[in-house]
Copies of this chain bind each other. A is one copy, B any other.
Amino acid sequence: MRAQVLRAHGGAGNFELVNIPEPELRPGAVRVRIAAASVNQIDIKIRDGLPIGPTLPAVLGCDLAGVVEAVGPGVAGFAVGDEVYGCAGGVRGQGGTLAEAIVADARLLAPKPRALSMREAAALPLVTITAWEALERAGVSEADHVLVHGGAGGVGHIGVQLAKARGARVATTVGSAEDAAIARELGADATIDYRQEAVADYVARLTGGRGFDVVFDTVGGANLDRSFAAAALGGRVAAIAARSTHDLSPLHAKGLSLHVVFMLIPMLHDIGRERHGQLLREAAALVEAGTLRPLLDPARFDLAAAADAYRHLESGQACGKVVIDIA
């Protein structure tokens, strides 16, 4: 099969399109003919050498949508020909999705939402599971005023929709007027141009100075300090990028809770994988109900151009998810 193989950690130029053997079926897994894959920030970090990735040379890529073409021993609930989606590759011990086929742990997969194309379905798994876990652990309900950072970004645009689905009032940060319009279409009640408005100013404007009950930080780094600053007394902050060093005094002064979400843990440690398949089933129901939809960046890439897809996400210019058409 054709695959993009990463020869060495580093930039997108280290990918090479080659022919490699089809991966072998194993118990508990299915072989999926991949129709589309999507690129996530974590894929870039793994490409650059984050030590959760596979031993090189290897195929990277977490997210996929495709068709089941073989079912391994011990797998219930999937049959040849089923359209599926999931986040089932890209880290050590797993295959990758920058290839024409993958052998994936069946517990990580779910039936593809019928209303979505393969491209659209491939955009959802990692960001949806991430946002779902963040909002669930933060206990978001209709009583909450929620700030989602990056409402036009990969995880953020799902966070806005899932927070609205939980009945919360939702504000979101964006970087342009175009992204603000997109975030409002996704359901955001208010938008904040983070390039124009300081935290204290939008906390005053949108919460009367009280702060947000929940802040969902999809950005990390210095933005995490801004998230602490934007939270109300007793508030909850959910973060998906927290490998940095921070003064925790604001958490102390306000009695905050910080929930750090790392959705690759089930793949890395073989714990709770069934939950991921289940979440994707629940997400598919939200899609069918019209409550959840993926936001796809308009740029198109095929497998041969995978490196360009990575570069596009790295540029910071992508709006929503960057998807690669595999077949």
Contacts and interface: CB of A to CB of B under 8 A. Distances in A.
Interface of A: 137, 224, 233-234, 241-249, 251-262, 265, 269, 271-272
Contacts of A256: 260
A245 to B, nearest CB: 5
**Residue among A234, A255, A265 with max Cβ neighbours from chain B (10 Å):** A255
A151 to B, nearest CB: 22
Nearest to A265: B255
Contacts of A271: 233-234
Contact of A260 (B224, B252, B259): B252
Contacts of A233: 265, 269, 271
Contact of A248 (B243, B255, B272): B243
A265 B137 contact: no
A122 B258 CA distance: 32
17 contacts: A233-B265, A233-B269, A234-B265, A234-B271, A234-B272, A242-B248, A242-B249, A245-B246, A246-B246, A246-B248, A251-B258, A252-B260, A253-B262, A255-B260, A255-B265, A256-B260, A257-B259
Nearest to A258: B258
A37 to B, nearest CB: 24
Contact of A252 (B137, B241, B272): B241
A251 B242 contact: yes
Contacts of A265: 233-234, 254-255
Contact of A249 (B243, B253, B255, B269): B243
A137 B256 CA distance: 10
Given A257-B260, A258-B257, A265-B255, A245 B243 contact: no
